[in-house]
Structure 1
């Protein structure tokens, strides 16, 4: 179990602050967010707990800028579910002797599917919360979920390569 050191808390807070800025910056494009890819990349790099902390802080703080309501709790729960499933997916994907490029390709496809999965989970929770038919939320959110999946598909390899380069430079020094 990791302890909560000042360095760890600072790292989580700084990444959450970056994600808040990115979420605010990209808010003009419905469901086009690089932060989902960042959350997914953080799971293997920093661990599931720290990645969830970054995500929860990001969603909570950015909701003060973008609108606070019961959906914020649904966002946090939905992302946490998807990040947990992502961790399981990564365990399955990285087994065996596959090359780095194949693993990145399979992870990127999975990241895009996380965008769809997140949409279905939050639509399902919203339908339950507001006592609406499930299909109506999923159907109404289809294009938003598709935009989320496609943007995650595009951002994931870029952010992954950045984090790999950053960790590689750290080990060289």
Structure 2
């Protein structure tokens, strides 16, 4: 069941894009896609509730989510630049796709308690959740990517995150929806996308090795604790 939930979550932006281009009733489009996002988020958190996660694993997810959320606040004055994407990606890389998704989605919700909740919140939760889930796929073989490779991956995440958020912007505020208006909306946000991507790249270069080693050591201790 967990794998199915992860597949649905990772494919979500592609499904949303296809629906956006085929459905012509814009009011229904906005409603359907938002419900689609919320249902996916609820599925992930319900699975956490019924799973056999130990208290240490839940505490770990909560702690990483809080750190990723709080790290966003000091950088709120610089549009697009925050360590949250890097920290979510690193959490997924070390602990796996499901944990990465939960850290990303929870971090978005917590940080918006300081920066402001709104209809964009579920979309940010989904976008950062996908960043964590995809990073978990990259770390499946427990091999640490080089700093340069992971910096490039997080650079791409900057554009991917904003691509998902632009879907929310287009369906909510752009009328009519066609290729010209979509391209115009994405072009308008391109400077912020670049800042996000470059910020991610720099955070990886500065923090990656130290943070990876800390989380890896904790993962080893966690695994050892639950081994009989």
Any stretches of 5+ residues in structure 2 without a counterpart? 3-50, 176-180, 222-228
Any stretches of 5+ residues in structure 1 without a counterpart? 95-99
Q: Which residue of 2 aligns with 1:129?
A: 172
| Aligned partners of 2:101 and 2:133 also within 8 Å | no
Give 1:31 shift: 1.1
Question: How does the TM-score come out when normalised to structure 2?
Answer: 0.63
Counterparts of 1:1-173 in structure 2, within 5 Å, are 3-88=52-137, 103-132=146-175, 133-167=181-215
Evaluate the alpha carbon distance shift between residue 109 and residue 24 of structure 1 in structure 2; reply closer, same or farther with a 3 A threshold. Answer: same
Runs of 4+ in 1 over 6 A off after TM superposition: none
| Aligned partners of 1:124 and 1:138 also within 8 Å | no
Aligned residues: 165
Cα deviation digits, residues 140-160 of structure 1 (max 9, x gap) = 211111000000001123332
Question: How does the TM-score come out when normalised to structure 1?
Answer: 0.81
| Aligned partners of 1:32 and 1:148 also within 8 Å | yes
Evaluate the alpha carbon distance shift between residue 5 and residue 85 of structure 1 in structure 2; reply closer, same or farther with a 3 A threshold. Answer: closer
Report 1 or 2 for greater relative contact order, CA contacts < 8 Å, sequence distance ≥ 6: 1
| Aligned partners of 2:107 and 2:125 also within 8 Å | no
Cα deviation digits, residues 55-114 of structure 1 (max 9, x gap) = 11111121121111111111122223344444445569x6xxxxx7x7321221121011
Secondary structure (helix, strand or coil) at the match of 2:76 reads helix
Quote the Cα distance in structure 2 between the aligned partners of 1:168 and 1:80: 20
Measured on the aligned residues, the alpha-carbon RMSD in Å equals 2.6
